[in-house]
Amino acid sequence: MAKGRILAIDDENFFRRFYQDLLGAEGYLVRTAASGEEALEVLKGEPFDLIITDMQMPGMDGLATAEAIRRLNPDQEVMVVTAHKDVEKAVATMKSGVSEYLLKPINPEEFLHVVNRILFGQTLRSEHGKLVRENIELSSILSTFQNCLKFLRVEDLDRLGDLILDTLMELLKAEGGVLWLAGYRGINFRRHCLRGLARVSGAEEVLTPGEQDRRIILAGEPALAAGGKKVWIPLCQGVEPVALVQMEAPMGRPAFGPRDLKVAAAASEFAASALSNVLRYRSLEQKSLRADQGMAYNMAFFRDFLDKELQTARRYGRNLSLLRLSVDNYPELKVAFREKELELGITQMLGKVQEVLRDADIMAMVSPSEYYMLLPETDFWGSLMTQKRIRKALKDLSLSDMRRSLAVQTAVRGASFPVDGQNFEELSQVLTRRLARLKESLFQKGAMQAAPFWSAVEQILGTPKDYRFNGGALQVSKRLATFEDGLQSRFFRMSADRFEEVLRAFCREVVESCRTRGIIYRGCGDFDQVRKGLSLLEAQERSATTLYLLGGDRRVHWDVQKTVPIHIEEPQFRKYPFLIYLTEDQAYALFAHQHKGELIGFHTSDFYFVENMIAKLQEQYQLQTQI
């Protein structure tokens, strides 16, 4: 291996061969150039430990060549050799940063001594610089370790997540960060917290990495992304990912660099270990706090967990829903069946419910006949969807022995934070009221659970023969009269024009409460005619409620997003005028017969009835799911 790389510049071939022979014999690798211009071209492709240049050369002289070389590399060692005793040039050359100045004729021994001295000094400076860099790096790593030791002293998952992000933002000089917790085997990651200027869209609440990103995560090493604007930091315990951190927006520089990756790698080991311990402790704690059935927690743990989730929801502006499930005929089941049979049936019920719930949802037992379910990051509409799935899962559940078989009659209702309450007590009171109203609901009274949408409508409306007119008053048959309660469900008589006024009134309500998410279904025969009557069409586009027009005489396409015509061939959509409206805190349904220029029919604000009629409509006609 060569002792060093030397470039010799001289316009005379004799001296170029002299340098090659003398320095080559000493073990140096020598390249030569006949001019300063040629030397600069060589330097663009190769590095050298020492450059020797003649002073007097055609074109660029030694001084100009030395200055050009120093501009390319300020640390480059340069020796100037000349046959002229020019003191002024010697001074100028030394000022330009030249390491040594020698006169021709050259004494070989003296020349080799100077070359060796220059390169030895260069080696010393290189070693010193390396030691300085290593000391700085060691100091940085020790500082990183010192900062990360505090991870191991935190036992609360939310506090630990915030601390990890804050520490990494400080160490990497970043302006924002996001932490996702790993799901099963790292297939997806659920956002846990974010800090600083980091922004995450709703679509990124659950992160499902692609094949390339998964390889980065499983490698377990920090990696640059988005052209260095972001750093991915996998937190792995062994080969399993525990979490994924994204740091972004480097301060005072265009991008993150290799040093940031080293710091992130050092910090990630502490963060992964601390997170893994907290998650393991949390899992053990949850298993030890199971109720008798084993699938539900006891209320002490549930209340504590719910309080923490509520704090997180308030802090990050998230939603949260609480469900209550009750076994309405539990006393009857307890009398009819032995304890083991009843316990087996309840365990089967809880197993079906658990199949519906997500990994992040938890269930707690109040009593053998009553259960709570916590749905983190779930709003009113997501809660309705979960309730619908639970009812479907438990629809055919029954207990049986050799003597009898009884259906397990269940009821489930939900309340959402922050709309329905700010704490457990408030949400629980809302659930109690809703479960009580559920038993009196029109949907329960009419036993409409299994009926198709139009069968349920015709059951309520009856036929025109069920309506009589006593003067100006409307009277209905005894069978239909059972659907009236005097408070929220009534039969009516009005002119056909009033129906359009009712629709416009709801559209005004939507525009005035533009941030309230909702849905309206309306049956119609002529899409274009209905559109002409919607004077608030443009204002409705800025709302969070969608109006669906169902039926129509043909397929049409409108250049609006919040008023959607859906052509359905079935004649009932044109035969029966109807309107269904649902938001988080309001519900209304209207169904009518057309009779001699009037509408006679039924309307209600029964919340449970409305949401289930919407569910029937959506399922039967495969409409866009809104709940």
Helix (H, G, I), strand (E, B) or coil at 596: coil
pLDDT at 132: 67
Per DSSP, 419 falls in state T
Amino acid identity for residue 404 in this structure: R
Distance CA(337)–CA(49), nearest Å, equals: 94
**Residue 79 confidence (pLDDT) above 60:** yes
**Residue 259 confidence (pLDDT) above 70:** yes
Q: Is residue 627 very low, low, confident or very high in pLDDT (cuts 50, 70, 90)?
A: very low
Per DSSP, 203 falls in state G
pLDDT at 471: 75
Q: Is residue 86 very low, low, confident or very high in pLDDT (cuts 50, 70, 90)?
A: low
Lowest mean pLDDT among 168-177, 510-519, 521-530: 510-519
Phi, psi of 410, deg, nearest 5: -120, 155
Please state the rounded mean pLDDT for residues 328-334.
88
Distance CA(601)–CA(463), nearest Å, equals: 10
Q: Is residue 140 very low, low, confident or very high in pLDDT (cuts 50, 70, 90)?
A: low
pLDDT at 343: 86
Distance CA(547)–CA(38), nearest Å, equals: 77
**Residue 559 confidence (pLDDT) above 50:** yes
Do residues 235 and 268 touch, judged by C-beta distance below 8 A? yes
pLDDT at 94: 64
Measured at the CA of 558, the angle between CA 557 and CA 564, to 5 degrees, comes to 90
Closest CA to 22 of 90, 116, 103, 120: 116
pLDDT at 504: 76
What would you measure as the largest C-alpha separation in the chain, in angstroms?
Answer: 135
Closest CA to 112 of 122, 102, 124: 102
Predicted model pTM: 0.55
Per-residue pLDDT tens digits for 115-128: 888 877 777 777 77
DSSP 21-32: HHHHHTT-EEEE
Q: Which residue has the higher pLDDT, 106 or 161?
A: 161
Lowest mean pLDDT among 12-16, 153-157, 502-506: 502-506
Do residues 40 and 72 touch, judged by C-beta distance below 8 A? yes
Distance CA(551)–CA(609), nearest Å, equals: 22
- Within 394-493, where are the H helices? 424-439, 442-445, 453-461, 478-481
pLDDT at 626: 45
Do residues 234 and 268 touch, judged by C-beta distance below 8 A? yes
Lowest mean pLDDT among 121-135, 511-525, 553-567: 121-135
Phi, psi of 77, deg, nearest 5: -80, 125
Closest CA to 190 of 380, 383, 377: 377
Per-residue pLDDT tens digits for 204-217: 667 888 777 778 77
Phi, psi of 434, deg, nearest 5: -70, -40
Q: Is residue 320 very low, low, confident or very high in pLDDT (cuts 50, 70, 90)?
A: very high
Average pLDDT, the chain: 83
Q: Which residue has the higher pLDDT, 94 or 216?
A: 216
Per-residue pLDDT tens digits for 335-367: 888 888 888 888 889 989 988 988 888 899 888
Per-residue pLDDT tens digits for 465-488: 888 888 778 888 888 888 888 778
Per-residue pLDDT tens digits for 271-311: 888 888 888 877 766 565 555 555 788 888 888 889 989 99
Please state the rounded mean pLDDT for residues 141-165.
80
Phi, psi of 591, deg, nearest 5: -135, 140
> If you compute the radius of gyration of the chain from its CA atoms, what whole number of angstroms results?
40
pLDDT at 89: 65
403: left (phi over 0), alpha (psi -120 to 50) or beta: alpha
> Helix 13-25 and helix 108-148: axis angle, to 10°?
60
pLDDT at 195: 87
Q: Which residue has the higher pLDDT, 472 or 164?
A: 164
pLDDT at 509: 73
Phi, psi of 127, deg, nearest 5: -65, -40
Do residues 170 and 148 touch, judged by C-beta distance below 8 A? no
**Residue 41 confidence (pLDDT) above 80:** yes
**Residue 323 confidence (pLDDT) above 90:** yes
pLDDT at 371: 93
DSSP 321-378: EEEEEEETTHHHHHHHS-HHHHHHHHHHHHHHHHHHS-TT-EEEEEETTEEEEEEET-
Q: What percent of the chain has pLDDT over 90?
A: 8
Phi, psi of 372, deg, nearest 5: -105, 150
Q: Is residue 506 very low, low, confident or very high in pLDDT (cuts 50, 70, 90)?
A: confident
**Residue 74 confidence (pLDDT) above 60:** yes
Please state the rounded mean pLDDT for residues 386-393.
90
**Residue 104 confidence (pLDDT) above 50:** yes
**Residue 136 confidence (pLDDT) above 60:** no
**Residue 147 confidence (pLDDT) above 60:** yes
